[in-house]
Amino acid sequence: MAEKLLQHIQKFIVLPEDTKPLIASSFIEMEAKKKHNLLENGQVCKYNYFVESGCLRLFFINDKGVEQTTQFAIENWWLSDYTSFAAQQPSSFYIQAVERSTVWALSWQAQEQLFFQFPPLERYFRLMYQRAYAAAQWQIKYIYDFSKEEIYQHFSAHFPGFVQRIPQYLLASFLGFTPEYLSEIRKKSIS
């Protein structure tokens, strides 16, 4: 149980055998069908999610009623609305399964207790946040640096498999433009 999660943690810190049951039992295993919402706007984001398989996305709905995806998480990535999670306040985001997904959910209380029982996990999570923050710094750089067309070219060059895997309207939403414009860009790059 929780093999993938434990293996992932062990890439970053040493895990004594006897801590594994403690850790595994702190998480809740969840199965989410495609399009199922793990978090809805207005709710407190109770969990930090580790994706074992499948894909989640973080999005919000703007004042025109359009869904804006700001992040995806695939296997071995964590996802949460950390503003809501850390302060246990209502979120303005949704978290939704893009595909059928298996995730391990860690509540804020369980996380705090785990840190108390096994402090080296602080290091693991420090590294995870550091990695996530570095990725966010890059995402922001991309947005400022490139035109929409360049953003698409870079992204599809770096993550060809992922581009194939998700519907185009979600990709457009994530990259910050309309499905129509994505269509136009793709037509150009084929010919």
Q: Site residues (CB under 7 A) for DNA? A: 64, 147-149, 167-169, 176-184, 186-187
Is the Cβ of residue 16 or residue 65 nearer to DNA in the bound state? 65
Does 138 bind a copy of itself (CB under 8 A)? Our answer is yes
Does 86 bind a copy of itself (CB under 8 A)? Our answer is yes
CB of 31 to a copy of itself, least distance (A): 26
> Could you give the string, one character per residue 6-25, with x where binding to a copy of itself holds by CB under 8 A and - elsewhere?
--------------------
Phi, psi of 13 (to 5 degrees): -140, 165
For residues 172 and 180, give the distance between their C-alpha atoms in angstroms, rounded to a whole number. 9
**Cα three-residue angle 12-16-20, rounded to 5 degrees:** 90
Q: Which of 25, 113, 117, 139 binds a copy of itself (CB under 8 A)?
A: 139
CA 58 to chain centre: 7
For residues 75 and 186, give the distance between their C-alpha atoms in angstroms, rounded to a whole number. 27
* 65-84: contacts with a copy of itself (CB under 8 A): 68, 70-71, 81-83
Contact between residue 185 and residue 152 where contact means Cβ atoms under 8 Å apart:
yes
